[in-house]
Amino acid sequence: MAAMTFSILHVLVVALLGVRILLRPHRQPESRAAWLMVVIAAPFVGAVLYALLGETGIGRERTRRLREVAQALPPPCVGAAAHLPDAGEGRAAPLFAVGYAISGYPAVSGNSAALMADSDATIASIVADIEAAAHSAHLLFYIWLDDGNGTRVAEALMRAARRGVACRAMVDDIGSRALVRGALWSRMREAGVMLRTALPVGNPLVEMVRGRIDLRDHRKIVVIDNRITYCGSQNCADAAFLPKKKYAPWVDAVMRFEGPIVQENQHLFALNWTGNGGDDITGLLVASPDAPKPGFSAQVIASGPTYSPSAVPELFATLIYAARRELIITTPYFVPVPELLSALCAAGHRGVATTIIFPARNDDAVVGAICRSHYAALLDARVRVFEFQPGLLHTKSLTLDGEVTLIGSANLDRRSFELNYENNILLHDAACTQQMRARQMAYRQQSREVTRAEVDAWPLRRRLLDNALSLFGPIL
C-alpha cells in the first residue's frame, strides 16, 4: 500500500510540475528539457529545487513597484545629444537600435571616456571625484566590502555628506550582506549618507513564497554631480577580494565617462534607488545638460528579470554577427544559450579573427566545467581560446572591429541572461575602443592558449564530468 501511495505521489508530482515547466513563459526548450530531466529523475527533490530555482520572478509587489517607478520617472534630459533609436552612426545604428529596444535609452553623442589603469586606480579616481563633488554622489554596487578600497570610498562619501553633498549609496542585499550588517554601514548612515539595499531578502522563507531570492542586482553604477559616471566590472573592493582570496587578484576593467551618457546612468540609478524605497531624485533627471561637446556616441543598456528575457543574449548575438574582421571577448563566466554559441562559431567560420579569454581558475567550479565543455566546438570553429593565468579575470568586455566596445557588468552566462539586473555601456569610437583592445591584448599576453590537441588529450573522466555538468547549464 505504501509503495502504491508513493508511486501515485511520484506520478502526480511529475505531472503537475511537468505541466508548469512546459507552460511557463519565456523558457527555452533546452531549459524545459533540463528541468523535466531533474523532476523525472528525482521528483521530490526536483520539486524543492524547482520551487527555489525554477522561476525567475522577483515577486508581484516588487515587479509592480519597479514598473510604476519606471513609468513615473521622466526620461533622462540629454537634449540635442540624443539620436533617434535608429539614427546611430553608420554601422553602429542597428547595434544601438537593439540596445534601445532592450531598455529604452537612445544612443547619445558628445561623450568622452578613459579606461582606468587597474582596480586601485579606479577606486582612487572615484574617491577623487567624490572629494570634488559639489552636489551629489550616487553609488550602486553588487558587492561592497569593508576592506581597504571599500572603506576608502565609504569614508570619502562620509566626508562629502558632512559638507552638504547629497550622497546616496546602494548595495545588493545578498552580495553586500557583510557590509550592511557591519559597523561601516552604520557609520555611513550616521554621517548623513542615504543608504538602501536592493532586493532585500528579509525572512528567506517568506521571500521564497513571493519570488526567487537568488535574483540579484549585479549592477555597478557611480554618478557624480550629474557630470561623471563609471561603468565596468569592478565591485567596491580590493583586488585581493578577501572572501575568495585564493583566486586573487581579481582583474577588472572600468571606464570613466563624461557627456550625455551620464544622464542615462543617472536615470538607471534613480530607477534602482526609488524602486527600492529611496527618495525622489527626479529633479536631477530633468536638469538641463551642459552645452553639447564633440564626442562619440554611446548608450546605456540595462537588463534584468523585469526586462525582456532574451535581452542579453540578443545583444551579444547581434554584436557577434556584426563583426567583419575582429572580435575579442573577455568574460569570467561562460554558460551560453545555443544561439550565442552558434553566433561565436559562425564568426570563426566566416573568417572573423575571434578571440575569447577566460580565467584559468574559476571561482565557480561548476561554471568553469561547463565553460570547458564548449572549448571543442569553439576551437573547431577557429575561435581562439585563452586562459588568463595571474588571477581571476573578472572583466566583462567586447571589442568589435576596433570600432565598437561593450563594457559593463553582464557575463555570458545564464545568471546575466535571466536572473541578474545588469548594466552595460555600448560605445562607437575607434580611439576608446583601442584603449579597451590594448587591455584585452595585455590579458592575452598573460594567458595560455588552449589547443584542440590539448582538449583531445583531456582524461576521459574530465570530459565526462564537464559534459555531464553542461546538461544542467540551462537551469543554473
Determine which one of 225, 238, 252, 413 is catalytic: 225
DSSP 106: P
Reported as type and span, the H/E element at residue 37 is helix 29-41
Determine which one of 138, 267, 394, 428 is catalytic: 394
CA separation for the pair 85, 345 (Å, rounded): 29
Residue 121: CB atoms within 10 A of its CB come to 13
- Cell, residue 200: 532585500
DSSP 3: H
Whole-Å CA distances, 289 to 86, 260, 286: 22, 7, 9
Determine which one of 120, 290, 364, 401 is catalytic: 401
218 has catalytic annotation: yes
The SS3 of residue 356 is strand
- Cell, residue 430: 575607434
401 has catalytic annotation: yes
- The radius of gyration of the chain's CA atoms, rounded to the nearest angstrom, is 23
Closest C-alpha to 200, from 26, 65, 47, 49: 65
Determine which one of 83, 220, 267, 428 is catalytic: 220
Name beta bridge partners: 25.
Answer: none
Closest C-alpha to 451, from 377, 385, 371: 385
220 has catalytic annotation: yes
Determine which one of 138, 218, 374, 428 is catalytic: 218
Instruction: Find out whether 236 and 143 touch, Cβ atoms under 8 Å.
Output: yes
Provide the terminal-to-terminal Cα distance of the chain, rounded to the nearest Å.
37
The SS3 of residue 57 is coil
396 has catalytic annotation: yes
466 has catalytic annotation: no
Phi, psi (deg, nearest 5) at residue 111: -105, 155
Determine which one of 396, 428, 429, 466 is catalytic: 396
Residue 308: CB atoms within 10 A of its CB come to 14
**Catalytic residue annotation:** 218, 220, 225, 394, 396, 401
